[in-house]
Amino acid sequence: MSDSVEVAPLPTAGEGRVLTGILGWQGGVLLLLVAWLYHSILYNLVLQWIHDPNFSHGVFVPVFSLFVLWQDREKLSAVEKRPAWSGLVLVALALAMLALGVMGVELFTSRASLLVLLAGLAILFRGWPFFRALLFPWAFLILMIPLPNLILQKFTFPLQMLASQLSTQMLRVVGVPVLREGNVIVLAAMPLDVAEACSGIRSLLSLVTLAIIYGYLMEKRNWVRVVLACAAVPIAVFANSFRIFVTGLLVQYWDPDKAEGFFHAFQGWLIFVVSLILLFGVHRVINFIWKSGDESRPLASDGAGSRVEKRDEPAAAGAWSPRFLAVAVLMLAAAIGLQARSKDEVFPARQPLSAMPQQYGNWSGVDEPLDQPTLDILGAGEFLDRSYENAYPSQPWIDVFIAYFPSQKMGDTIHSPNHCLPGAGWVPTLRETVELKAPDGTTFPANRYVVAKGGERQIALYWFQAHGREVASEYWAKYYLIADSIRLHRSDGALIRIMSPMYPKESPSAAQARVMELGNRLLPVLDTYIPR
């Protein structure tokens, strides 16, 4: 076998452009079309980075991806150009996702469509080898898109429970008398409620993002980069639990007020710095056990240490490239179509929830004000939390909670009680779907939930209601939200939850029948406040 190496000619200035397949004014036109399609989506995305602590790391993600592209610009320019029409399929898919997301008020879908569009353009004008070369900075951009609430809520409460369990064990190890009730840590001085903000989800997402950045900059071995990214998860969970542990010590031995305010915020920053140090320590241990060699990142390499032979490339796109015309027509049609469909959202006439009667027979209701942290979590909607009591005969109170959102286009969506009922020490013991019978004889599905704390139990019945439709599943509620937004130009919807303590030996069915004595009085009037 010959040891000779064929050296490829150095790329010229024109060949050195990463976007050689899109020349001059054609690139400018496509950039303007992308801006037209996505300007409002990107604007609202940046606002969420600024105002949502769970996703404040998002601002660094596109900056780092651009840095990687700039660092690898010469190697990317040397990648063989093989423009592929299959990229046009991805462009069409991205525009379909955009239309579905915009008309169906699905933010994640519309935001993710931008990444699919970028992938389609890269493949259409430069080919699959080029896209494979920029796969890492492209895939990293996924971290800049906030997760849908429907998915995020699935992780929040389990993380709350895990953090409360670990911190409780730490407190017991150092001799602090402590009792845990669900996500509540009961100390002698005061109870600590491991709330949603203390679940650690924000530090977890931020640390995973920084771990990927750190691994790229400081490590050449891909397997080590994967290990560092995976190690960020247990480190973030442990660090958050340690933060709660330290808060417990401050409450127990110093001042209960230190559980809030400056000390609480300062602990968050300090523990995050400790997390970074632990991540660095994991890297040092790996390097100590497995010495790092002279490996380098495999970009544009043929495996023999020589430059890749540069084959003949297609001629530069002409003034009216078929690829450019095809993608420009698709994007222009999508922009015009979305503009034509952007009629004002429909807001049907309705009465405010506060106008709902406070008296139903012997049942008399008193409104319970919601605190600001709860309102911040719920989002921009209208809420009613009213406790009804029946003194003749005396019965347990029944709490009626209604959350109505006139619009869910900006991401303010209904939070399922499935994720918030198990809180403040209450633990779920029963979850099932039941059929509730309306006064007119029709039935509809609802969720029956039983939670317990100590010897106490409570029953909750809840369902989602919008446009004359009642559903129990949050996923079906999301589907109908998308469908009705496209069909009716409406994204309003509501959650109805009826909750009451249970008698010591009362069965869930008996408790449901008792609660629905009031519920059946509410059902006929709901359409006045939640329009069909």
Three-class secondary structure of residue 88 per DSSP: helix
Query: Among residues 270, 289, 308, which one ends one of the domains?
Result: 289
Residues 218, 276 contacting (CB under 8 angstroms): no
Q: Are residues 364 and 336 in the same domain?
A: no
pLDDT tens-place string over residues 147-173: 887 788 778 778 888 888 888 888 888
Q: Are residues 115 and 185 in the same domain?
A: no
For 247-254, the CB contacts below 8 A with 24+ separation are 247/192, 248/167, 248/171, 248/176, 248/178, 248/185, 248/187, 248/192, 249/171, 249/174, 249/176, 251/187, 251/189, 251/190, 251/192, 252/171, 252/176, 252/187, 252/188, 252/189
* E strand or H helix at 521: helix 508-522
pLDDT level of residue 118 (50, 70, 90 thresholds):
very high
| Residue from 310, 292, 290 nearest 300 by CA | 310
Q: Quick one: tokens of 224?
A: 């080590």
Q: Are residues 372 and 517 in the same domain?
A: yes
Report the length, in residues, of the chain.
Answer: 532
Q: Is the pLDDT of residue 315 over 50?
A: no
3-state helix vs strand vs coil in the chain, percent to 5 = 55, 15, 30
Residue at 479 is within a domain: yes
Quote the CA–CA distance of 296 and 106 in Å, as a whole number: 41
Residue at 301 is within a domain: no
Q: Are residues 363 and 506 in the same domain?
A: yes
Q: Are residues 331 and 373 in the same domain?
A: no
Q: Are residues 167 and 118 in the same domain?
A: no
- DSSP lists the bridge partners of residue 360 as 363
Residue at 265 is within a domain: yes
Residue at 311 is within a domain: no
Q: Are residues 389 and 501 in the same domain?
A: yes
What is the predicted pLDDT for the residue at 204? 87
Residue at 262 is within a domain: yes
Residue at 334 is within a domain: yes
Residue at 361 is within a domain: yes
Q: How many CB atoms lie within 10 A of CB 167?
A: 25
Quote the CA–CA distance of 53 and 201 in Å, as a whole number: 10
φ/ψ of residue 170, rounded to 5: -65, -40
Q: Are residues 127 and 276 in the same domain?
A: no
Over range 337-360, report the average pLDDT. Answer: 86
- What single letter denotes the amino acid at residue 20? T
Q: Is the pLDDT of residue 349 over 70?
A: yes
Instruction: Name the pTM for this structure.
Output: 0.80
Domain residues for the domain of 131 are 24-146+322-341
Quote the CA–CA distance of 32 and 332 in Å, as a whole number: 10
How high does pLDDT run on average in the chain? 83
Q: Are residues 175 and 160 in the same domain?
A: yes
Quote the CA–CA distance of 97 and 90 in Å, as a whole number: 10
Residue at 4 is within a domain: no
For 18-24, the CB contacts below 8 A with 24+ separation are 18/69, 18/73, 18/76, 18/77, 19/125, 19/126, 20/77, 20/81, 20/126, 20/316, 21/81, 21/83, 21/124, 21/125, 21/126, 21/317, 21/323, 22/121, 22/125, 22/317, 22/324, 23/316, 23/317
Count of the separate structural domains present in the chain: 3
Q: Is the pLDDT of residue 269 over 90?
A: no
Quote the CA–CA distance of 186 and 235 in Å, as a whole number: 25
Q: Is the pLDDT of residue 233 over 60?
A: yes
pLDDT tens-place string over residues 57-96: 899 999 999 999 999 989 988 998 899 999 999 999 999 9
φ/ψ of residue 385, rounded to 5: -125, 105
Q: Are residues 359 and 241 in the same domain?
A: no
| Residue from 235, 122, 245, 110 nearest 173 by CA | 245
Quote the CA–CA distance of 131 and 111 in Å, as a whole number: 20
Of 182 and 43, the one with more pLDDT: 43
What is the predicted pLDDT for the residue at 376? 75
Quote the CA–CA distance of 453 and 80 in Å, as a whole number: 65
Residues 159, 204 contacting (CB under 8 angstroms): yes
Quote the CA–CA distance of 34 and 46 in Å, as a whole number: 17
Residues 283, 224 contacting (CB under 8 angstroms): yes
Q: Are residues 407 and 515 in the same domain?
A: yes
Q: Are residues 117 and 222 in the same domain?
A: no
Residues 402, 384 contacting (CB under 8 angstroms): yes
